[in-house]
Amino acid sequence: MGQGLSCRVQDEHGLFTAVQFGDLEIVKTVLERDPSLIQQKTVYDRHSALHIAAANGQIEILSMLLENRSVNPDSLNRHKQTPLMLAAMHGKIACVEKLIQAGANILMFDSLNGRTCLHYAAYYGHSDCLQTILSSARTSHVASSWGFSRFVNIRGGKGETPLHLAARQRRPECVHILLDSGALVCASTGGHGLPGSTPLHLAARGGSMDCIRELLAWGADRLHRDATGRIPYAVALKHKNGACAALLNPSSAEPLVWPSPLKFISELNQDAKALLEQALMEVNKEREKAILKNTGYSMPSPSHSDTTAMDDNISEASDSQLCCICFDQLCAIEVQDCGHQMCAQCTLALCCHNKPNPTTLSLPAPICPFCRSNIARLTVVKVKVNTADQELDLYSSPKQRKSRKSMNLSEGSSSFRSLSAVPSFGKIVGRGSGRVSVDIEIDKP
Ligand SMILES: [Zn+2]
Ligand SMILES: [Zn+2]
């Protein structure tokens, strides 16, 4: 028996090493020689070959192992961790996807801290894995049996939600995704960190300005007290996160809060949402600068590529018109059904003029500032007009023509633009091509 065991241990060792380093041929050879080895686990940690493949991102071997029907995608190691948890911990997105496809259960809890794969992805800041697990939760049995929002706010052994962990570990992207998926910004922990801590307390401790900015923009309460009576401001001071403390100081200016309770905000399409979220962050960063200047802190080094993204938006919208409210930004958002346009920042100012009442979450519904009609939808201003539309434009009614012109026809219609009666504030690319007859035609009543 001793002989057999030592021989087997040697084989296992060969197998696990080959899995770790992704040597598919050796893995195949070893398993052909002894198919039962596929069920073997390492002696101490009780890792299966699947755990090792997942943790090391060996997607080929992982896929090969999962083809074997006797392999359980949810096999457990010594700490009751599944291969999916290890893949989420190490940010091996391909393995996360494959395991979920193969039916891995996203609702398993380890025995270390009672945490799920979603906690792992949030803690280690792998936003792609986090996103994949969340999309799976939206569509899988979890949504019907548990409910999606319950899953997003799933608690570990000490009451910590994935949002608590992401905030504590300085993972702003994960914080954003979780909040956007319905994570409760004011949830307090049972025993994780200091009891009664909210994500904002933990972000104050972690010292990430980006996390704090996200949380505040989603309505985190600066006055919430943990079990020892401390507000996040006191936590930041204690951990010597001075710049964070300045933002968390209840006496400094309040940031704009994303107006999520508004119906048309919750129904925004992706483009409009991205544009408005970006504008919100820009406005809040400007406020931060003012706060930090007064307190003698300088703005921490830019950790975001926000500025480049913003530049893209501007050049994209460069054919549209200057906002008639601020005369500073270009119109980017159109109010429907009336069709009035304004810039993203003015749209936000309209929607965020006061914080939602924390108990009722009710906001007075804003109306169009131009015509006072109700806002059914907000969309991104479209500036691209194809050739067929331009042709059509020549024959449309004067009223329609006027409204079209006020959008400053773009691309390929440079002759229209150069002689257009509407002053163009945007960057003018290209000039008239001499098709004057057309322009005269169009300017006639
Ligand atoms: Zn404006
Ligand atoms: Zn209107």
Please tell me the distance between residue 188's alpha carbon and the centre of ligand 1 in angstroms: 38
Amino acid occupying residue 414 = S
Please tell me the distance between residue 263's alpha carbon and the centre of ligand 2 in angstroms: 17
For residues 375 and 401, give the distance between their C-alpha atoms in angstroms, rounded to a whole number.
24
**Cis peptide, bond prior to residue 337, ω within 30 of zero:** yes
Q: Give residue for tokens 């071997």.
A: 61
Sketch the domain layout of the chain as residue ranges: 387-443
Q: Which ligand is nearest to the CA of 330?
A: 1
Q: Which ligand is nearest to the CA of 350?
A: 1
Report pLDDT for 191.
78
Q: Which ligand is nearest to the CA of 327?
A: 1
Please tell me the distance between residue 338's alpha carbon and the centre of ligand 2 in angstroms: 4
Those residues whose beta carbon sits under 5 angstroms from the ion ligand 1 are: 323, 325-326, 329, 343, 346
Please tell me the distance between residue 331's alpha carbon and the centre of ligand 1 in angstroms: 7
Report pLDDT for 316.
46
b/e code 224-234 from CB counts within 10 Å (16+ = b): bbbeeebbbbb
Q: Are 375 and 335 in contact (CB under 8 A)?
A: yes
CA atoms within 13 A on the CB side of 403: 9
Other CB atoms closer than 10 Å to residue 312's CB: what's the count? 11
Report pLDDT for 103.
94
Q: Which ligand is nearest to the CA of 329?
A: 1
Please tell me the distance between residue 76's alpha carbon and the centre of ligand 1 in angstroms: 56
Report pLDDT for 310.
46
Tens of pLDDT, residue by residue over 197-235, are 999 999 999 999 999 999 999 999 999 999 999 999 999
Other CB atoms closer than 10 Å to residue 239's CB: what's the count? 14
For residues 111 and 99, give the distance between their C-alpha atoms in angstroms, rounded to a whole number.
20
Please tell me the distance between residue 407's alpha carbon and the centre of ligand 2 in angstroms: 15
**CA distances (Å), 140 to each of 48, 132, 329, 394, in order?**
26, 12, 43, 52
The pTM for the full model equals: 0.77
Report pLDDT for 190.
83
Sites in the chain below the pLDDT cut of 50: 1-9, 11, 303-318, 387-445
Please tell me the distance between residue 433's alpha carbon and the centre of ligand 1 in angstroms: 32
Please tell me the distance between residue 333's alpha carbon and the centre of ligand 2 in angstroms: 12
Please tell me the distance between residue 348's alpha carbon and the centre of ligand 1 in angstroms: 9
For residues 108 and 333, give the distance between their C-alpha atoms in angstroms, rounded to a whole number.
43
Report pLDDT for 394.
38
Q: Are 418 and 432 in contact (CB under 8 A)?
A: yes
